[in-house]
Each structure stands twice: as structure tokens, then as C-alpha cells.
A and B are shown apart, each in its own frame.
Chain A
Amino acid sequence: SAVISQKPSRDICQRGTSLTIQCQVDSQVTMMFWYRQQPGQSLTLIATANQGSEATYESGFVIDKFPISRPNLTFSTLTVSNMSPEDSSIYLCSVEDLDREYGTEQFFGPGTRLTVL
């Protein structure tokens, strides 16, 4: 399975500022995703990070607020722009990896815990 690291692991930010979260995978993967998770709750997909093209955003998420980069098959960044306290959440990077038995499986990074004051 793919090994995923995220930086930073946590941060406390002031409202109105922006934070860029990095996601690094130890192998080349086709699909990379960004999720948001409120503590103790389930996951909400923000967008699919596409290599070499613009990310595909889910309903309720826009590029101006959550710009995403994916310069290659092992790395992606998510920026949370013009932050407000409502953006306080855990942000998770995820990848889809090939499995011999099931075709594909989804794996997650450790997450970035963001608190906006």
C-alpha cells in the first residue's frame, strides 16, 4: 500500500490568512484526493487533484477558496485561502492505489489539523 505523508500535521492560523498543506506519496499514483473532516465525523470530498490539469471540485467547494496543485504523480498541495473559523477542520490527502485482488483501494495520509482563530 502507498505511504502518504502530510505537512504540516497541525497549525493554528489567524482569520484572513492562507495555509498550504503538502501531500507526498512514496510511489506514483494516478488518483489523489483532498478531504475535509470535522472531528469525530465522516469525510467530505473537496476535490480530485489531477496531474497536469485543474482539479475537479465537488459541489460546495471552489478553486478560489481551495486552490490545488499537482505537479507530478507523487505530490499535491491544497491551499485553504482567506481562512475563517468555519474552516477549522482536519484536512486529509488520499490516494487510490492498485491492488492485485480488488483493482483499486483508497489510502489516507495522517491529516492536517487546522484551527482558525
Chain B
Amino acid sequence: TQLLEQSPQFLSIQEGENLTVYCNSSSVFSSLQWYRQEPGEGPVLLVTVVTGGEVKKLKRLTFQFGDARKDSSLHITAAQPGDTGLYLCAGGFSTNAGKSTFGDGTTLTVKP
């Protein structure tokens, strides 16, 4: 069974602070996705990373894929209340199309 462990599970910070969420596994993934989910909504895809060592930036969000493609991190700079939500990482395998493995999720609360 492939497992993705996310940390921390819960994070509550003040507006303007920085934070990092980690996603770790013992498995090597072909690709890794990060999603954000707000209450009452489905997960929304933020980014896909496929190359070991890859870094992608999406405004105040920076995503990094580990060199060995087993782990990833999401860094948010100057967090805003609108960043509040459940962040999920998901690892995919090219040989098992569509059956991504999801992490446990990180619930982020940004207080104004």
C-alpha cells in the first residue's frame, strides 16, 4: 500500500505569516498534485509536478517536488484568510492511471 503522509495535520496562523506543508512517502511517484478544498466544495487542483527537483510558483504559493520524487512541499508566503482550507497532496503512477494516492490532508486556518 502506497502511503502519503502530510504534516502538519492542522495549522492555525495569523495573516501575513509564512507556512510550509509537507507531503512524504516511501514510494516514487510519476507525478504529484496539490489540491485545495474549501468547505462545501470539491478539491481544486493547484499544481502538478512531474520532475524531481522541480519548483513551481503560483503567486504566493511555491511547490517543490523532491529530487527522488518521493516527497513534496507547499510553501505559502504572507498567508491570507482566503488561503484557509484543506490542502491535499496526491501522488500518481503512470502505470496506474487515475488511481492517485491521497495524503491525509492539512487543515489550514489563517486568522485575520
Chain A interface residues (CB < 8 Å from chain B)? 1, 4, 31, 33, 40-43, 45, 48, 92, 96, 99, 101-111, 113
Q: Are A105 and B33 in contact (CB-based, < 8 A)? A: yes
The residue that B105 contacts in the complex, of A4, A31, A42, A111, with Cβ under 8 A, is A42
CA distance A43 to B90 in the complex (A): 10
If A42-B102, A43-B102, A48-B98 touch, whether A99 touches B48 (CB-CB below 8 Å) is yes
Report A-chain residues with C-beta under 8 Å of the C-beta of B42. 4, 92, 108-111
Among candidates A4, A40, A101, A107, residue contacting B107 with C-beta atoms closer than 8 Å: A40
Question: What is the interface of chain B, defined by CB distance below 8 A to chain A?
Answer: 31, 33, 35, 40-45, 48, 50, 86, 88, 90, 92, 94, 97-100, 102-105, 107
Alpha-carbon separation in the docked complex, A96 to B93 (Å): 13
Q: A102-B50, A106-B45 are in contact. Are A45 and B99 (CB under 8 A)?
A: yes
**Are A104 and B97 in contact, with the CB atoms below 8 A?**
yes
Residues of chain B with a CB closer than 8 A to A41's CB: 104-105
B50, closest chain A residue (CB): A102
Judging by beta carbons under 8 Å apart, are B45 and A1 in contact? Answer: yes
